[in-house]
Amino acid sequence: MRIGMAFGDVRGQLPLPEIASQVRAAAGAGIGTAWISDGIGWDALTTLAAVGPGAPGIELGTAVVPFPQRHPLILARQALTVQSAVGNRLTLGIGAGISRMVGAMYGLPTERPARRVREYLEILRPLLRGESVDHHGETFTAVGSAVLPGVEAPSVLVAALGPAMLKVAGELADGTVTWMTGPRTLGEHIVPSITRASGSRRPRIVAGLAVCLTSDEDAVRARFAEEFAPAGHVPEYRAMFDREGAAGPADVLLVGDETAITKQLDRIRDTGVTDAMLAPVGTPTEQTRTTEFLSTVTA
């Protein structure tokens, strides 16, 4: 299992130069991948274009870019531009977005998300390979191309939790990214579902979880439960918490001392995921201690 780290909004509001410093430090420590989420703060792809050239050697990924507000022709050109800027180190993670945000903030339709992502991938993947598309479908029209010289098509992952979305991810993408999904659900639902849908291909399965190295586990869980309480009411995440038997986000937090976190990571590894995307949380001191520890468990 490859160890990657999450940066950006999921770890709290920080100026861009501080995010760049964190990513450089992770690259220097041998962390496999730097993942940036795309929420209501920093734009993930633009952030990677800004910080990536200063952090050589580390893979750079989005986890994830919501696609409903981005036409596939636009996203393809943006992703390929970033891919060129970072020397072909980009992994492009996309997702349907949290339905309440997509509908409330942008006024966009949210029904049949698996159908929408299937059609989106049918357009996006050829565009990333430099092919032209002439697509007139149920949810998208796209006519054109996104040809940029000297750029490799990035790998594409899809945020997938439910059975229909995992089927699409397995059939049309290179794998999936999850967030706050516990080990029971990973091992019994996520991994077997996408592996079955992928056929002979081995999918990349990135498990995103928050982590905090601390000697005061109860206090950290209480703070995390309060800060991330809204996630417990998001239908997409709520379904995974219920499947896990978890009351909310705090129950899937990786927390404790070095021995405890190592055991929790071993349990995640045993589910069959290929990558852990770990987001250090807590105070600045706790995040620093957590980051330093994670750099010792990259293998």
Q: What is the DSSP letter of 53?
A: G
pLDDT tens profile 209-219: 999 999 999 99
* pLDDT value of residue 132: 98
Domain residues for the domain of 218 are 2-294
Question: What contacts 286, CB < 8 A, 6 or more positions away?
Answer: 212, 213, 214, 220, 280
pLDDT of 3 higher than 90: yes
Instruction: Give the dihedral of Cα atoms 268, 18, 82, 298; nearest 10 deg.
Output: -30
Confidence of residue 298 (pLDDT cuts 50, 70, 90): low
pLDDT, averaged across the chain: 94
Provide the pLDDT for residue 223: 94
Q: What percent of the chain has pLDDT above 70?
A: 99
Which whole number is the average pLDDT over 165-194? 98
pLDDT tens-place string over residues 130-152: 999 999 999 999 999 999 999 99
Distance CA 198, CA 137 (A): 24
Give the integer Cα–Cα distance in Å for 70 and 131.
19
Helix H or strand E segment including 141: strand 141-144
Evaluate whether residue 21 is within a structural domain: yes
Phi first, then psi, for residue 42 (nearest 5°) are: -65, 140
Tokens 């001392």 locate to 257
Per-residue pLDDT at 35 = 98
pLDDT confidence of residue 299: 54
> What residues does 165 pair with on adjacent strands?
none
Give 21-59 pLDDT, tens digit per residue. Answer: 999 999 999 999 999 998 788 999 999 999 999 999 999
The band of 234, judged by pLDDT with boundaries at 50, 70 and 90, is confident
- Residue 195: what are its φ and ψ, rounded to 5°? -65, -40
Domain count, the chain: 1
Task: Kindly state whether residue 101 falls inside one of the protein's structural domains.
Answer: yes
Instruction: State mean pLDDT over 235-245.
Output: 93
Distance between CA atoms of 35 and 43, rounded to whole angstroms?
12
Residue 11: the pLDDT is: 85
Interatomic CA distance for residues 20 and 57, integer angstroms: 14
Stated length of the chain: 299
Q: How does pLDDT run across 147-167, given as a tens digit for each residue?
A: 999 999 999 999 999 999 999
Whether residue 175 lies inside any domain: the answer is yes
Residue 61 inside a domain? The answer is: yes
Cis peptide leading into residue 168 (ω within 30°): no
pLDDT of residue 276: 98
User: What pTM value is reported for the model?
Assistant: 0.96
**pLDDT given at position 80:** 98
Token pair listed for 157: 């992952």
Q: Which of 169, 19, 8 is nearest to 94 (CA)?
A: 169
pLDDT at 246: 96
Q: What is the CATH number of the domain that holds 50?
A: 3.20.20.30
The answer to the question of residue 11 being in a domain is yes
CA distances from 52 to 26, 29, 217, 222 (A): 12, 15, 34, 34
Please determine, for residue 124, whether its predicted confidence score (pLDDT) is greater than 80: yes
Q: Confidence class of residue 101 from pLDDT cuts 50, 70 and 90?
A: confident
Tens digits of residue pLDDT in 68-91 = 999 999 999 999 999 999 999 999
SS3 content of the chain, % helix, strand, coil (to 5): 50, 20, 30
Tell whether 299 is covered by a domain.
Answer: no
Using DSSP bridges, classify how beta strands 141-144 and 133-136 pair: parallel, antiparallel or unpaired: antiparallel
Residue 95 reports pLDDT greater than 60: yes
- Looking at the domain assignment, is residue 138 inside a domain? yes
Of the candidates 203, 197, 186, the one whose C-alpha atom is nearest the C-alpha of residue 265 is: 186
Euclidean distance between CA atoms 247 and 238, whole angstroms: 9
CB–CB of 169/197 below 8 Å?
Answer: yes
274: how many CB neighbours lie within 10 A of its CB?
A: 15
If pLDDT is split at 50, 70 and 90, which confidence band does 297 have? confident
Query: Which of 6-20, 100-114, 171-185 is predicted most confidently?
Result: 171-185
Is residue 244 in some structural domain?
yes
8 Å CB contact between 6 and 277 = yes
| Straight-line distance from the first to the last Cα atom of the chain, in angstroms, rounded to the nearest whole number | 7
**Contact between 94 and 158 (Cβ < 8 Å):** yes
